[in-house]
Amino acid sequence: MGKKCTKAEKKARVEELANLIVKGLSQRQLIHHVTESWGLSSEQASRYVREARDAVKADLSDIDRVDMLASKVQMLEQIATDAVAAGRESNAIGAIRLMNELVGFEAGQKPNAH
């Protein structure tokens, strides 16, 4: 059995896993990363992943839905702009369609005037 990690090391590991979760790694990939990188058992790896998921949820609970929507719309606007500049109009169209879904504009629907 290896030596126990410090609180600082554990915090860094949980942060690393939280970042991997945000990047979209699967549960299986996360467990594999923990067991291979840190030599922990699958059971210990599951505890780390659970703690990292809780950290991600806590981060999200602090974000206002309007702020989150605004951030994602800005990101999609940038993706569309970059796609057009790169000559990838189909990617731009996809980003614009997704942006329209996020803000509630459906095909053929006119935005509400406020």
Note whether residue 27 is domain-resident.
Answer: yes
Q: How far apart are the first and last CA of the chain?
A: 65
Q: Tell me the pLDDT tens digit for each residue of 39-51.
A: 999 999 999 999 9
Token pair in block for residue 111: 């935005």
CA distance 77 to 70: 10
Note whether residue 112 is domain-resident.
Answer: no
Q: Are residues 13 and 57 in the same domain?
A: yes
Please compute, for residue 55, the number of CA atoms within 13 A of its CA located in the half-sphere on the CB side.
19
Across the chain, what does the average pLDDT equal? 88
CA distance 58 to 97: 30
Lowest mean pLDDT among 16-20, 27-31, 40-44, 63-67: 63-67
Residue 44 belongs to domain spanning? 7-61
pTM of the prediction? 0.58
Q: Are residues 45 and 17 in the same domain?
A: yes
Note whether residue 111 is domain-resident.
Answer: no
CA distance 20 to 26: 9
Q: Tell me the pLDDT tens digit for each residue of 71-114.
A: 889 999 999 999 999 999 999 999 999 999 888 876 555 555 55
Q: Are residues 53 and 16 in the same domain?
A: yes
Domains of the chain: total = 2
